[in-house]
Amino acid sequence: MNKLKNITSEQKKLPESKRQFCSFQMAGHCFGVDILDVKEIIDEVVLTTIHHAPSEMLGFVNIRGHVHLVLDLRLLLNFSSKPIDESSRVLLFHPNVGESFGVMVDQIGHMIEVEESLIEYRLTDENLSGIARDFRKSELEKGVCKLKDRLLIILDASKFLSAVELKR
């Protein structure tokens, strides 16, 4: 005989899935990319420029004998370019995101863990406020998440390389 237990609605709920993001600052705003996409963060940056390349391509960086293209994420997000300084960092991505590339960010932040249910993926002009609405137009955003003290704009790293081509 098969006995069935009464399951309350609380028992039916699966634990909330959490997402982790590598956060960074760009022009005073908080952005993040999926932490699983990030291979490493480089703090000492020596770039080899690429002559006649689109302005979004900052150059190449050699990390332990491997050459990676570095994109200017500020330009991809329609901010003005900024000189590299002591707080600038390069986020290098795993090959599943794109072939040997990274992006320059103004300042690295912390790993941010958020509940999946708090991320708004279906973005419309009605549920976005000012700054987030501007990034929606860039097609690089994946979603937004309201944190206690700021808005985290989640970017899709897999679209960075194709964004350079679209801007041309």
Question: Could you tell me if residue 3 is inside a domain?
Answer: no
Which stretches of the chain are assigned E, i.e. beta strand? 18-26, 29-34, 38-42, 57-63, 66-72, 89-93, 101-105, 107-115, 119-120, 141-146, 151-155
CATH number for the domain that contains residue 152 = 2.40.50.180
Contacts of 20 (CB under 8 A, 6+ apart): 34, 35, 36, 111, 112, 113
Distance CA 38, CA 48 (A): 22
* Mean pLDDT for all residues in the chain: 82
Q: What is the pLDDT of residues 97-153, one digit of tens each?
A: 888 899 999 999 999 999 988 888 765 555 455 554 454 445 788 889 888 888 999
User: What tens digit of pLDDT does each residue of 78-97 get?
Assistant: 899 999 999 999 999 999 88
Give Dmax (Cα) for the chain: 77
- Residue 143 and residue 110: Cα distance in Å, rounded? 18
State the residue range of the domain holding 130.
18-163
pLDDT at 140: 86
Q: What is the C-alpha to C-alpha distance for residues 164 and 18, in angstroms, rounded to an integer? A: 31
Domain count within the chain: 1
The verdict on residue 8 lying in a domain is no
Query: Does 5 fall in a domain?
Result: no
What are the structure tokens assigned to 50, written together? 């690429």
Residue type, 36: L
